[in-house]
Amino acid sequence: MLLADEDGHVGAVSVSTAAGSQSLDRAYSAATADASTAPPSMARDLGRERVNASYAGLLKAQPSKPVTFTLNFLLDRTVLTDESKSLLPVVLETMRARKPTEITVFGHADASGTEERNFKLSAERAKFVADLLRQHDPTLDKIDVQSFGDKVPLVPSDTRAAEPRNRRAEIVIL
């Protein structure tokens, strides 16, 4: 059976056996293959309602899409901006709603410091955010922490500019 993506995009799939194949390229179409020596059935349209009714349990079991939050920092520090502080309750509620969950924190710096300083600062920022999340929920024993220095800017620059949007930590909650 072929399903559409959440955005409505429909790809294609081929159901194949040694005796033949059947292409599916419409949402909610299906084909079966009963034995490797027999060709697959012709494609048939099951329809959205029938699929939702017949496979409700499987459809609910799909993993949630990751949610990403970006917290910004003051220049050359591990101090969150006021706007980022106000976002923390939403981050914490999302974590609680998705338990058990996997969390990754990516630390970043702008290009205003040396490469060595920026890498250290990005690591400190990622650790700061991970520790902050653990303070609010001590059951979070595993948070993956990664840092990139100034190597993955949100706003690229040819200079060693102090770009506020690059001073960030990204939190990905699965």
Would you write out the chain's pLDDT as a tens digit for each of its 174 residues?
Answer: 999 887 889 999 999 998 899 999 999 999 998 887 889 999 999 999 999 999 999 888 878 889 999 999 999 999 999 999 999 999 999 999 988 889 999 999 999 999 999 999 999 999 999 999 999 998 887 899 999 999 999 999 888 889 999 999 999 999
Helix/strand number for the chain, H first, E second: 4, 8
Of 74, 67, 87, whose CA–CA distance to 168 is shortest? 74
Six-digit token pair at 119? 């890498």
Q: What is the DSSP letter of 14?
A: E
48: left (phi over 0), alpha (psi -120 to 50) or beta: alpha
Q: Which helix (H) or strand (E) holds 32?
A: none
This prediction's pTM: 0.72
Of 169, 129, 114, 122, whose CA–CA distance to 149 is shortest? 122
Amino acid at 33: A
* CATH of region 67-173: 3.30.1330.60
Q: CATH 3.30.1330.60 region(s) of the chain?
A: 67-173
Residue 167 contacts residue 67 (beta carbons within 8 Å):
no
